[in-house]
Amino acid sequence: NFRVGVHIADVTHFMHPGTPLDVEASTRATSVYLPDRRIDMLPRLLTTDVCSLRCDGKPRLTFSCVMELNKDAKVIKSYFCKAIIKSRAALSYAQAQEMLDDPSIEGEVAASVRQLNELAKARRKKRIANGALELASEEVKFEVDTETLQPTEVIKYESVEANKLIEEYML
């Protein structure tokens, strides 16, 4: 069997109800992504450092879902918990996709990415067979003029197999 952990940063350790930080975050409700910038719900120190799950050898606080999957990708058991993790890698979608596409890339991380992908494909196939909807919409990104900060081009974002791998575990 396989143990799979899905982790998100635990910002509640740093935010407490009723504090100015909590009030401001509640007002913003979410981070907003614009063509030339992003407006974070939380201060940059939290979003880019303290609550980042990046691979820097530091322990990071998370909310986690830990699942045991059998070889057929069936969830045998699962639980939710607060945890402390140390990321072994911080991959872009392109890096993960390269590991899926190029069998000559070796190492524990590449092997794990490939195994997670096989399990994700099996889970997706079962979900679709059981009538799950696939709500796919095209994403776009903008090229922005560095002087005027005006969008100059709209580019269709191509979703790759690595995107689907992450999406499956987030479900």
Residue 35, pLDDT > 80, answer no
Please give the pLDDT value at position 52: 85
Q: What number of other Cβ atoms are within 10 A of residue 6's Cβ?
A: 16
Structure tokens at 75: 């969830």
DSSP 66-80: EEEE-TT--EEEEEE
CA gap 88, 20 in Å, rounded: 34
In tens, the pLDDT along 94-115 reads: 999 999 999 999 999 999 999 9
Q: Tell me what pLDDT residue 5 has.
A: 95
Most confident of 9-23, 24-38, 148-162: 9-23
Q: Structure tokens of 131?
A: 């009538």
**pLDDT over 80 at 16, yes or no:** yes
Q: How confident is the model at residue 21 (pLDDT cuts 50, 70, 90)?
A: confident
Looking at residue 3, what DSSP letter applies? E
Structure tokens at 104: 């000559």
Does the pLDDT at position 138 exceed 80?
A: no
- Is the pTM higher than 0.75? yes
Mean pLDDT of the chain: 89
Give the length of the chain. Answer: 171
Residue 96's CB: how many other CB atoms inside 10 A? Answer: 23
User: Who wins on pLDDT, 154 or 121?
Assistant: 121
